[in-house]
Every structure is written in C-alpha cells, then in structure tokens.
Amino acid sequence: MTPTTQATVGIGGAAESTDMVLNIGPQHPSTHGVLRLRLVLDGERIQQAEPVIGYMHRGAEKLFEARDYRQIVMLANRHDWLSAFSNELGVVLAVERMLGMEVPERAVWLRTLLAELNRVLNHLMFLGSYPLELGGITPVFHAFREREELQNVMEEVSGGRMHYMFNRVGGLKEDLPLGWTGRARAAVADVRSRMDVYDRLVLGNEIFRARTRGVGVLSAQAAHAYGVSGPIARASGVDFDLRRDEPYLAYGELQDTLKVVTRQEGDCLARFECLLEQSHVALDLADACLDRLAELPPGPVNQRLPKVLKAPEGHTYAWTENPLGINGYYLVSKGEKTPYRLKLRSASYNNIQALAELLPGTLVADMVAILGSLFFVVGDIDK
C-alpha cells in the first residue's frame, strides 16, 4: 500500500486545536522599542515565547575599542537612556580601578547623590508608563511632572538633559553651581510630597490590582537561573543589592538609610511595589548625601589627568547597582589609550530572558502586563 500524508485543516471549532504563531513587534506599542516576541498560541493561551532581539543593535562594545578612555563615556551612557549617569559611573569606576586612582571625597558623595537622583528619574518613568500600558492614562502625567522637577536640577549641574556626560575618570566634570544643593533639596522634597499619588491612584485601583496580582509569577530559583537582578529579582525574594552587599561610592556610610526592598510574591504587582518603595528609599539617600555634602569643606571634585590617558596592562571587573539591575564592566587593557576589550553586562539583557519562563501558560491578554512589569529598555538589551 502506498503511504500517504494526511493534513488536518482546522475549520470552525476544529481550529482551536491548531497552534498559531503570533509576532508581537518589533514595532509594537507594548514593547518599549524595537523588541520582537515570537509567541506560539493555543487559542488564547501562550504555549511558547521567544524574545527576538538585535533590531536596534548599536555595536557599542566594538566601538569602545576605537575610542580613548574619555570618549567611551559618551558611548556607555546611552544604552539605558533612562539611567545615563549610572551607566557612565560604571565605566569610570572600572578605569579608575585599573589606574589605582583615588577620587576626592567630595566627588564620591556627589556621584552617590546624582546616581540616586538618576534612579528616581528612571523609576518614575516606569511608575507612570506601566499603568498606561494597562489602560490607566492619568499616572503618566504625574510621573512626568515629578521627573521635570528632578530633570531641572540634573540639567543645571551637568548641562545635559538625558545624556549627562558629567562623570570623568578621576571624578566629575566640574563643581556644583552656586546654590544648587538648596534647589536639589527642594526638588527632592517636592517629589517626595507627591509620591503618595501612586499608592492612591495606582495601587489603590481595583482594576490595576486585578490585572497584576498573581500574574507573571517569577520564582526566586528562575531569577537566579536567568541572572535576573534589580527590583525584578527582589520582588521574587532575592535579597541582594550591591549597594549594601558590596558597597561602592559612599554607600558603605549610608547603611542606616539604605533599605533593600523585597517582596516574596514575584508577580507583576510585587514588581511594581518594589519599584515604588525603592523610589522612596532613593529620595531618602539623596537627602542623606545632601546632608553630608553640607558638612564637607570645599575641595576638588576631580583629579588632574595626563593629556593622553593610558591604563596599565591587565584586566578588571567593576559592577554597579543600576536602576534596572546589576551592570557589569569587564575591562581589558594592553597599556594603550583605548581599551583592548570592554564587555558590558547590562541588566535588561538578562531580565528580558525571563519572558521565556514567564509567558508560557498565560493568556495573551496578560502578555502586556507581564512584559511591562519587567521594566526594561531595549537599548540596554541591544547594546
């Protein structure tokens, strides 16, 4: 008997047993940029999920090799465009470690202050945009009002609105404008006084809680397996924060103020709650830095560098607790004025991998809620 091939074509109700491949993106309003999700569906339920990245690849790691140690700061602060100051910081810390360079105390405290203000700026964007993705338009207007308060003081001190370019190897570009600390303290107080709107307007909203509670649960084991870090990992009970566990900058002296926010549920709601509470902690840390700066005597904020800066031959690794998670910088030098290799470990790249674990078994309707709760920036993935 001649073998035959049979194909079953689903028509009407029979189509429910046929898997469908659905592409979300790369151009889609729920993906924060050019990210593509390849979903295999069985009806309304997701069977498989594959994040497809690379549509916005910048090639920054290769470009690092053709720029000197001053120029690579410009490339490094752009991959997570919401955390530019923190991105710069990791690079200069790695170079300073290679050089064995001590940074003036005033610069250390200023870096810590600006890093925490940048953390709040980052978190406010997601605190406003995440409810927007679930249908709540009002919180994003509040978020941008608070961001403007902090953006103004960051722009005044650095001259940049998004890409600050204020860090330098050996310290900071320049000292503070006259009266800036008072204006920064007022901005922090204003933002803190209005942060309760997210408790009332977002967390107090029944629809928001229904869309996020118990949805997209990430276990602590899965967080470890995928290298997830930052507020997303802490929402799953991973009690790890470099600012406390391996202090850098001035965080070793801020342990009384620094509180590591964790949750155990690991769902979308827990991730949002961690982000919100962490914003309050960052504002407290900013106030503590301002208090310490007021006590310090006037002094330099940078070191004098040679006209041509060369790092000694060798390698080092520096990591920082960026707003979205752990950023790592592996620097290899051959004794030249450019890095031989600078490998960047960005937080979003690891965090977004967890989608392959979170999405299978969930409904398509919950996909946007889960995706948005991972708080990623596509440039931080396609670095």
For 106, the enclosing helix (H) or strand (E) is: helix 105-133
361 contacts 45 by C-beta, under 8 angstroms: yes
Contacts of 295 (CB under 8 A, 6+ apart): none
Given this model, what pLDDT does residue 8 score? 33
pLDDT tens digits, 296-311? 999 999 999 998 999 9
Given this model, what pLDDT does residue 94 score? 95
Note the pTM of the prediction, 2 decimals: 0.91
pLDDT band at 4 (very low <50, low <70, confident <90, very high): very low
**pLDDT of 245 higher than 90:** yes
Cβ-in-10-Å burial (0-12, 13-18, 19+) of 231 comes to buried
pLDDT tens digits, 344-362? 999 999 999 999 999 999 9
> Cα separations (Å) of 124 from 75, 241, 243, 280, 289?
24, 20, 20, 11, 20
Q: In the chain, how many H helices and how many E strands?
A: 16, 8
End-to-end C-alpha distance for the chain, whole angstroms: 58
**pLDDT of 157 higher than 70:** yes
pLDDT band at 35 (very low <50, low <70, confident <90, very high): confident
For 278, the enclosing helix (H) or strand (E) is: helix 268-295
Read off the tokens for 342: 């600078």
pLDDT tens digits, 41-56? 988 899 999 999 888 8
**pLDDT of 9 higher than 50:** no
Given this model, what pLDDT does residue 12 score? 44
pLDDT band at 17 (very low <50, low <70, confident <90, very high): low
